[in-house]
Amino acid sequence: MLKNKITLITGASAGIGKSCAEAFAEAGSNLILIARRIELAEKLASNLREKYGVECIAIQLDVRKYDEVADRLGNLPEKWQNVDILINNAGLARGLDKIQDGSLDDWEEMIDTNLKGLLYVSKLILPGMVARDSGMVVNIGSIAGREVYPKGNVYCATKHAVRAISQSMVIDLNGTNVRTCNIDPGMVETEFSLVRFRGDAPKAEQVYKSFKPLSGDDVAQIALFAASRPPHVNIQDIMVTAISQASAQIVNRTGV
Ligand code: NDP
Ligand code: 8X3
């Protein structure tokens, strides 16, 4: 079903985005991989071309910069212009502070990446899908888009906003054959916590200690399932956690 389709993935250099690249390539989709760390995206593109025989390009892009997004995505090589599946995955948390102690820079980075970046990329890709009356957007939200947890404040706000945007896409695209799927994972072991704690590896490791969290591959398989349903089937909304995680704050840490 995905053979010869074009899937564009933001944040494809690591974590969930990288896993989505692997899963969609295995299913036969051609790929546009977006990230700032272009060397990682290019290496992945080359591996996937070799492993699965798909076509794959890497584009260096900071989704926070609208001019860059408009330039790169507005001028895709002709054969890459008709994106079938957009996976809005690029995102991050910065810091874990009480709102009264939060850093303006951290807030802006999260809002600019998780919310504005998602909107900028969608603005460039969605009109083509609507014109072709075909396509799918997968937005990677979070359990933080359904619950607020202590010190999660602005990160949670951005993910609540992603959820609102996903619901808006479903409504505004009604009457077209463009599908929207919102995926809200609980804790996934990726570079996420390392980024949140600015490279403090011991602190990041604590987040995933004594239970088995989700992997990027677990989430990628869900995105792939949603994207490979028949075109009239729209899985609008999915929440997925590790079995040990009941809610944002309730995690059974009695395992390995
Ligand atoms: P990672 O840190 O492992 O990956 C994040 C990816 O986003 C990287 O490829 C990074 O690439 C990219 N990225 C970050 N900022 C930008 C930017 N300005 N422009 C372009 N790309 C950017 O984290 P995850 O894989 O865990 O996170 C992916 C998504 O999943 C995020 O939206 C996150 O909020 C969400 N999520 C994560 C969960 C978790 O527990 N890990 C749970 C629920 C949701 P580069 O640095 O090369 O630009
Ligand atoms: C990432 C999951 O719970 O760390 O979105 O916010 S959480």
Read off the pLDDT of residues 81-98 as tens digits, 9 standing for 90 and up: 999 999 999 999 999 999
Is residue 153 in contact with ligand 2, taking CB distance under 6 Å? Answer: no
Is residue 156 in contact with ligand 2, taking CB distance under 6 Å? Answer: no
pTM of the model: 0.98
Q: Ligand 1, from 8, 9, 22, 36: best to mutate by most atoms within 8 Å of Cβ?
A: 36
- CA dist., res. 112 & res. 108, Å (int): 6
Ligand 1 atom at minimum distance from 214 CA: 40
pLDDT at 156 > cutoff 70: yes
Phi, psi of 226 (to 5 degrees): -60, -40
Percent helix, strand, coil in the chain (nearest 5)? 45, 15, 35
Per-residue model confidence (pLDDT) at position 1: 87
Of the residues 5, 52, 116, 155, which is catalytic? 155
H/E segment holding residue 181: strand 178-185
Per-residue model confidence (pLDDT) at position 32: 99
Q: Ligand 1, from 8, 9, 13, 16: best to mutate by most atoms within 8 Å of Cβ?
A: 16
100-150 pLDDT per residue, tens: 999 999 999 999 999 999 999 999 999 999 999 999 999 999 999 999 999
**67 residue type, one letter:** D
Active-site residue, 159 included: yes
Instruction: State the distance from the centre of ligand 2 to the C-alpha of 198, rounded, in angstroms.
Output: 16
- Report all structural domains of the chain as residue ranges with CATH numbers, in order of start: 6-240 (3.40.50.720)
